């Protein structure tokens, strides 16, 4: 990646999926990836929240319908937020101010979901430590599907994704527009992925059709803007 990244952003648009997805391979260097893994893994234990199928760290505040009360983000994370800012996908009023760190062991994943109204509708995700495959579903198909059957997607198995993307180590994914609002995204709970031609960004990846990629521990940084609380301090 060159420093003047916004000039080249167009060449990273994935045209085979609904608008709008950018996938930027080698967005960070191997040294930066190593740095992220070290920092995440040396965070104090209480910073982690353990869920059934992944664990996470929340930085920047707790997003809230009435606006987020901001907390200071450590400098090592601000470095990557600045790096994303140089792409000029966010503007001054919606600069990223929140980072969710997710850790997935092989066989772990995240249920299809939308990131919802608590965030400005642009998501930027850096992938470290392992590849994964991100699956997209049309919103109505999955919702109808689970509603009709009266159970959750995990109990039932999912309809076929409408698109899949391979997220390789050191890459950046940018999701916005219809892919934010009208699609769900998720990661299935697998220990390896078979690469086939249904993956829509393979031309930007190192992997080739036919590869069987074993997953190892993946750390992702999901960097977003959560609108701030506009609460006025009456007494100061
Ligand atoms: O780990 C990822 O790439 C996806 C994370 C995600 O979808 C989220 O945190 O909302
Ligand atoms: Fe998400």
Asked whether residue 201 carries a pLDDT value surpassing 80, the answer given is yes
Averaged pLDDT, 42-56: 95
> For residue 235, what pLDDT band results from cuts at 50, 70 and 90?
low
Decide: 185 in ligand 1 pocket, CB within 6 A: yes
> What does pTM read for this prediction?
0.90
ipTM reported for the complex, 2 dp: 0.98
Question: What count of Cα atoms within 13 Å lies in the side-chain half-sphere of residue 2?
Answer: 6
> What element of type H or E holds 139?
helix 139-149
Tokens of 135: 């699956």
Decide: 171 in ligand 1 pocket, CB within 6 A: no
Tokens of 108: 């772990």
Decide: 124 in ligand 1 pocket, CB within 6 A: no
Q: Which of 8, 6, 7, 31 is nearest to 170 (CA)?
A: 31
CA 222 to ligand 1 center in whole angstroms: 6
Report which DSSP code applies to 45: G
For helices 75-85 and 30-41, give the axis angle rounded to 10 degrees.
Answer: 140
């Amino acid at each position: 990646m060159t420093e003047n990244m916004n000039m080249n952003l167009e060449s990273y648009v994935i045209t085979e999926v609904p608008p709008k997805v950018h996938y930027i391979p080698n967005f960070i260097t191997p040294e930066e990836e190593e740095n992220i893994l070290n920092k995440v893994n040396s965070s104090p234990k209480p910073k982690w929240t353990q869920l059934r199928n992944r664990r996470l760290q929340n930085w920047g505040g707790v997003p809230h319908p009435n606006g987020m009360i901001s907390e200071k983000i450590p400098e090592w994370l601000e470095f990557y937020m600045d790096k994303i800012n140089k792409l000029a996908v966010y503007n001054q009023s919606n600069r990223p101010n929140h980072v969710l760190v997710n850790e997935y062991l092989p066989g772990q994943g995240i249920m299809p979901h939308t990131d919802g109204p608590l965030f400005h509708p642009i998501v930027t995700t850096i992938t470290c430590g392992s590849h994964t495959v991100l699956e997209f579903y049309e919103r109505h198909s999955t919702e109808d599907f689970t509603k009709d059957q009266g159970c959750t997607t995990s109990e039932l198995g999912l309809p076929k994704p409408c698109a899949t993307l391979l997220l390789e180590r050191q890459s950046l994914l940018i999701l916005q527009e219809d892919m934010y609002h009208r699609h769900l995204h998720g990661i299935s709970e697998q220990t390896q992925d078979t690469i086939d031609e249904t993956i829509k960004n393979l031309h930007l990846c190192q992997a080739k059709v036919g590869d069987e990629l074993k997953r190892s521990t993946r750390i992702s940084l999901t960097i977003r803007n959560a609108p701030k609380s506009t609460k006025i301090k009456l007494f100061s």
